[in-house]
Amino acid sequence: MYADLHAHTTASDGSATPTELVRQAAALGLSLLAVTDHDTTGGVAEAMRAAREAGVRLLPGVELSAEGPPGKCHLLGLGIDPGHAGLNAKLEQLSAARRARAARIVERFQALGVDLTLEDVDAATPDGANVGRPHLAKALLQKGAVATMQEAFDRYLADGGPAYVPKMVLPPAEAIALIHDAGGLAFLAHPGLLKLDAGETPRDRLLALRNLGLDGVEAYYSQHTLPQTDRYLDLARDLGLLVTGGSDFHGANKPGVPLGVVTNGHGVPLDALPAILRDWSAGG
């Protein structure tokens, strides 16, 4: 019995539709799946319908980028109510900011002499998706301006790159409160990828986030080593934090990260997760 509580769909920058994602999870025999798109719950309703058909349990989720004290991080909201008005009002602001940002990135490309238009970006972005840098990378690929999506990041779109424009983000305290307001639990995503300040330890960061209401940490993660996983499992135990785990599956948009696989090729055993996640129920 395995779970994957971190996966993206075409509602943000994944390549699989919510239905395709759920069917893949079912084919792998996963019993619990969370859809955690960037700044949107737009894929959850379709995933719920597909999950009922496929016999997979589905946790509605969201992944929020946060910046501000105590630092930059990604937060996963698990078990949120996807119809929560306050959450969706804020997510709509973040989506609108993403569209404005895509237009600014296109202007950067034009200034750099790269022939890219907003129409090209739209053509590379699934209908209704929250536009992100992977869609810009795909648009560049389709225009033949780069040979691979990775080249688009390396030459232009990576943090600090010539076409990089930051996106609207929430302070961690606000992101955690928003997740709680929507009935969910807030987890620090992929702690092994954190950029810590000089002298700051992972424990320091987790304590600071716990003071803001953080509920848990994503100890099991596709890019964590076994020692990293053990370290975050120990820290979670010491600090009284819950544990979650997921792949961060993006399909073809993130090659080499298969669904259902975390630390060193293992899955997340259902019984490694806290009962509150295992037994989460949407009320029928």
The contact set with Fe ion (CB under 5 A) reads: 63, 74, 189, 248
Closer Cβ to ligand AMP, 28 or 165, answer by number:
165
Min separation Cβ 12 and Zn ion, Å: 6
Closer Cβ to Fe ion, 109 or 187, answer by number:
187
Q: Are strands 57-66 and 32-38 parallel, antiparallel or unpaired?
A: parallel
Find the binder of ligand AMP among 18, 60, 132, 260 (CB under 6 A): 132
In a 3-state reduction of DSSP, which class is residue 275?
Answer: helix
Q: Which of 242, 283, 275, 197 has its CA nearest to residue 32?
A: 275
175 binds, among ligand AMP, Fe ion, Zn ion, none (CB under 5 to 8 A by kind): none
Burial 211-234 (b: 16+ CB within 10 A, else e): ebebbbbbbbbbebeeebbebbbe
74 binds, among ligand AMP, Fe ion, Zn ion, none (CB under 5 to 8 A by kind): Fe ion
Q: Is 128 exposed, middle or buried (0-12, 13-18, 19+ CB in 10 A)?
A: exposed
Q: Which tokens go with 231? A: 């370290």
Q: Is 218 in the site for Zn ion (CB under 5 A)?
A: no
Q: Is 109 in the site for ligand AMP (CB under 6 A)?
A: no
Residue with structure tokens 């993660």?
221
Closer Cβ to ligand AMP, 159 or 271, answer by number:
159
Q: Is 13 in the site for Zn ion (CB under 5 A)?
A: yes
Find the binder of ligand AMP among 153, 156, 220, 221 (CB under 6 A): 153
DSSP for 208-240, written as a single string: HHHHTT--EEEEEETT--HHHHHHHHHHHHHHT
Stretches 113-121, 130-138, 172-180, 261-269: which one binds ligand AMP (CB under 6 A)? 130-138
Which residues, in sequence order, are CB contacts of 30 under 8 Å at separation 6+? 2, 3, 4, 56, 259, 260, 267
Find the binder of ligand AMP among 167, 190, 205, 224 (CB under 6 A): 167
H/E stretch holding 141:
helix 133-142
Min separation Cβ 254 and Zn ion, Å: 7
In a 3-state reduction of DSSP, which class is residue 94?
Answer: helix
User: In the bound complex, which residue of the shown chain has the CB atom lying closest to ligand AMP?
Assistant: 132
Min separation Cβ 191 and ligand AMP, Å: 16
Q: How far apart are CA 72 and CA 226, in angstroms?
A: 24
Find the binder of ligand AMP among 134, 172, 245, 251 (CB under 6 A): 134
Q: Which tokens go with 260? A: 């259902």
Min separation Cβ 6 and Fe ion, Å: 6
Closer Cβ to Zn ion, 4 or 13, answer by number:
13
H/E stretch holding 104:
helix 85-111
Find the binder of ligand AMP among 254, 260, 261, 263 (CB under 6 A): 254
The residues binding Zn ion (CB under 5 A) are 8, 13
The residues binding ligand AMP (CB under 6 A) are 13, 38, 132-134, 150, 153, 158, 167, 254
